[in-house]
Structure 1
Amino acid sequence: MISPNSKPSVAAVILAGGKSSRMGEDKALIPWDGTPLLQKVCKVADECCQQVYILTPWPDRYLSIVKKEYKFLLESNPGQGPLVGLAEGLAQISADWVLLLACDLPLLDPIIIDSWVSHLTQIPSDILALVPRQAELWQPLCGFYRREALPELQNFIQQGGRSFQTWLEQVPVQVIPVSEQCSDMLWNCNTPSDLHH
């Protein structure tokens, strides 16, 4: 158990390997208020976590828009979805917790995220994830995952599982209640109309 005074190590893993098929162009590079979405998400993650990693099959594409201190993790099996991405991140990172983030969350609030990080010290050791849930659905791409979740996750994937919703129903998860402010923050940008909206 972690003593209440010690702060667990938290690393962010930002997923930037999707096909962006609904958007029609790479979401990570789309400007939001003049800043590429990936850069915006990295900045928030940097304010809340000790280390920021970007999981992508094409790191060269993003080198020019991210800080040198962010580390790239090469996605070895792209196109398998975010659950496989989380497994790749957990396998390569030694932090106690991973904050998994999609690259298309332009409204992330570092104050809210930081309050969630500070709550990690109180999570019982048998809980493997801390994830927002709204309208009966998990919001896994803005959630925290303990390093010890990796064996169960790998087992689920080896059996053909790819659904975050299904996996989270099978492991011990603590729910993050979603207020109206949090709900706004979890909005993601998927289509050109989302962008104009």
Structure 2
Amino acid sequence: MSSSNPDITGVILVGGQSRRMGTDKAFLDLDGRPLIERALEVCREVCGTVLLVGNRPERFGAYALPMVADIYPGSSLGGLYTGLSHAITPAIFAIPCDIPFPNAAIMQYLISRRDDYDAVVPITAHGAEPLFAVYAKACLEPMRQMLETGNVRINDLYSHVRTRYVEKAELNALDPSGTSFLNLNTPDDYERARGK
């Protein structure tokens, strides 16, 4: 099946330590499928290519996808920078491996709003969602400068690039269940997702 956005690379972030969960979140089973496969499915539907960012190639070899190690290990901003650096497309869609209900319609909507912007970031009741967002190559240099100075707060990036925030009201119709931005950090989170 051809992607609807050949100029976008789906970057799945698989480098987290999963400390609070106690097990590798990418392989948590939900309805008979590991979380990584849910992220991969929507990326293949929406994006032209898919790239994994993390430092454990032995865990993900079965997926036969390119995997790159973090250039600046230890932070989500470093993961974004690594994925954007290695992407051959002008922009990426970043997605974490621990999102149980990734929504292709929301991904498409965010991508469709990127014309003249370097970052397109959804806003939910919990604030900005920087790890389910669009980033263009113009973000690389500001990201690098932040990482070099030890600032890994992704939200600080947005004042240095042309950022389009997509408010919750814009997304409500695409997310009727309100679950599209859940991510699983703890065993309690996992149990709640299994109950949905």
Q: Per the shorter chain, which TM-score range?
A: 0.7 to 0.9
Q: Mean alpha-carbon deviation: is it higher for 138-147 or for 153-162?
A: 153-162
Q: Is 1:74 paired with 2:63?
A: no
Q: Are residues 1:194 and 2:189 paired?
A: yes
CA deviations on 1:52-108 (whole Å, 9 max, x unpaired) are: 0011101111222x2x3x321123443x21101111111111211110111011111
Q: 1:103 aligns with which of 90, 97, 109?
A: 97
Secondary structure of the residue aligned to 2:138 is helix
Given the alignment of the two structures, is residue 185 of structure 1 paired with residue 180 of structure 2, yes or no? yes
5+ residue gaps in structure 2? none
Alpha-carbon RMSD: 1.8
Following the alignment from structure 2 to structure 1, what is the Cα–Cα distance between the partners of residues 55 and 99?
20
Deviation at 1:8? 6.8
CA distance in 1, matches of 2:133, 2:161: 14
* Structure 2 counterpart of 1:84: 78
Alignment map for 1:7-156 (pairs within 5 Å): 9-64=7-62, 66=63, 68=64, 70-78=65-73, 80-120=74-114, 123-124=115-116, 127-135=117-125, 137-156=127-146
Summarize the Cα distance change of 1:10–1:174 in structure 2 as closer, same or farther, 3 Å threshold: same
What is the CA–CA distance in structure 2 between the aligned matches of 1:8 and 1:30, rounded to whole Å?
Answer: 29
* Gapped regions of structure 1 (runs ≥ 5): 1-6
Percent identity, aligned pairs only?
27
Partner Cα separation in structure 2 for residue 44 and residue 99 of structure 1: 11
CA distance in 1, matches of 2:108, 2:91: 13
- Measure how far apart 1:109 and its partner are: 1.4
Which fold has the larger relative contact order, with Cα–Cα distance below 8 Å and residues 6 or more apart in sequence? Answer: 1
Question: SS of the residue aligned with 2:179?
Answer: helix
Contact 2:113 2:120 in 1 (8 A): no
Secondary structure of the equivalent of 2:107? Answer: helix
Amino acid at match of 1:168: Y
Residue correspondences, number: 183
Deviation at 1:157, TM superposition (A): 1.3
Task: Provide TM-score, normalisation by structure 1.
Answer: 0.86
> Deviations 1:151-195 (Å, cap 9, x if unpaired)?
111011112111112222443210122234174201111111111
**AA aligned opposite 2:93:** L
